[in-house]
Amino acid sequence: MDIFAGFTDEGRFGDTWRVDLSSGARTRIFEREGPGLRCLHSASHDRRGRRMIVYGGQRSGSLDDIWAFDFAANT
């Protein structure tokens, strides 16, 4: 499972993690690369394209952008 961005009481995040669901092991793929810090975004899994599509969210205001994360290339 791949996870991107979000927020806690510490602020917003823009990192991407890969979680092995069978072992629970977590690996950080990116820390602050790509779409940048954001929260309240939408993400969908594109099975055919083997990627995660991320839309919008918020930073200091609303964002209206689309990003794709390629699972195989980690880009």
**Per-residue pLDDT tens over the stretch 13-46:** 888 999 999 999 999 988 767 888 899 999 999 9
Domain ranges of the chain: 2-70
Ordered DSSP codes for the chain: -EEEEEEETTEEEEEEEEE-TTT--EEEEESS-TT-SBBS-EEEEETTTTEEEEEEEESSSEEEEEEEEETTTT-
Please provide the distance, in angstroms rounded to a whole number, between the alpha carbons at the two ends of the chain.
15
pLDDT, averaged across the chain: 91
